Amino acid sequence: MIVNLYPLKTFKLPIIAECINPDMLKGKTLDDMRRLELWEGNKRRTLGELFKIEISNPASSSENVTIIVNGDVSRVKRIGAGMKSGEIIIKGNAGMHLGAEMHGGKITVYGNALSWAGSMMKGGAIEIHGDAGDYLGAPYRGSKEGMRGGKIVVSGNVGNEAGAYMHKGVIKIYGNAGQFTGFRMRGGTIYVQGSCGGRAGTCMVDGAVIVVGALESAPPTFTFEGVKNKARIDENEAVEASFYLFVGDLTENGVGKLYVARDRNPHLSNYEKLL
Partner 1 sequence: MSVVTAVTCPVCGCLCDDIELTIHDNKVVKVKNGCAMCEAKFMGYSSEHRLLKPMIRKNGELVKVSITEAVKKAANILAEANYPVLYGWSNTSCEAISVGIELAEEVGGVIDNTSVVCHGPSLLSIQEVGIPSCTLGQVRHRADLIIYWGSNPWSSHPRHIERYTAFSHGRFKKSAWKNYVTKIKALVGRKKVQSAIKRLFVKEKIPSAVALSNFRHTPYLQTGKNSRKLIVVDVRRTKSAEIADYFVQIEPNKDYELLQALRALVRDQELEVDNVAGVPVEYLEEIVDAMVSCDFGALFFGLGLTMSGGKMRNIDAALSLVRDLNMRTKFVIMPMRGHFNVAGANTVFTWQTGYPYAVDFSLGYPRYNPGETSVVDILLRKESDAALIVASDPISNFPRKAAEHLTENPLIAIDPHMNVTAQVADVVIPSAFAGIEAAGTAYRMDHVPIPLKKVVEPPKGVLPDETILQRILAEVKKLKQANVREEA
Site residues, partner 1 (CB under 8 A): 12-14, 16, 39-43, 75, 77, 96, 115-116, 134-135, 140-142, 144, 179-180, 183, 199, 202-203, 217, 219-221, 223-224, 249-251, 271, 274
Min dist CB 54 to partner 1, Å, is: 27
Closest alpha carbon to 153 in 181, 138, 175, 122: 175
Min dist CB 77 to partner 1, Å, is: 8
Min dist CB 142 to partner 1, Å, is: 4
Q: Between 26 and 262, whose beta carbon lies closer to partner 1?
A: 262
Q: Between 77 and 172, whose beta carbon lies closer to partner 1?
A: 77
Closest alpha carbon to 159 in 184, 132, 185, 141: 132
d(CA 110, CA 46): 25
SS (H, E, C) 161-202: CCCCCCCEEEEEECCCECCCCCCCCCCCEEEECCCECCCCCC
Name the amino acid, one letter, at 255. Answer: V
Min dist CB 100 to partner 1, Å, is: 11
Closest alpha carbon to 17 in 87, 86, 73, 89: 73
Burial of 31 (0-12, 13-18, 19+ CB in 10 A): exposed
Q: Between 18 and 87, whose beta carbon lies closer to partner 1?
A: 18
Q: Between 96 and 173, whose beta carbon lies closer to partner 1?
A: 96
Q: Strand, coil or helix: what is 251? A: helix
Tell me the β-bridge partners of 106.
Answer: 87, 125
Q: Between 1 and 259, whose beta carbon lies closer to partner 1?
A: 259
Q: Strand, coil or helix: what is 124? A: coil
Tally of CB atoms within 10 A around 250: 12
Min dist CB 119 to partner 1, Å, is: 10
Q: Between 87 and 249, whose beta carbon lies closer to partner 1?
A: 249
Min dist CB 170 to partner 1, Å, is: 24
Min dist CB 117 to partner 1, Å, is: 13
Q: Between 66 and 157, whose beta carbon lies closer to partner 1?
A: 157
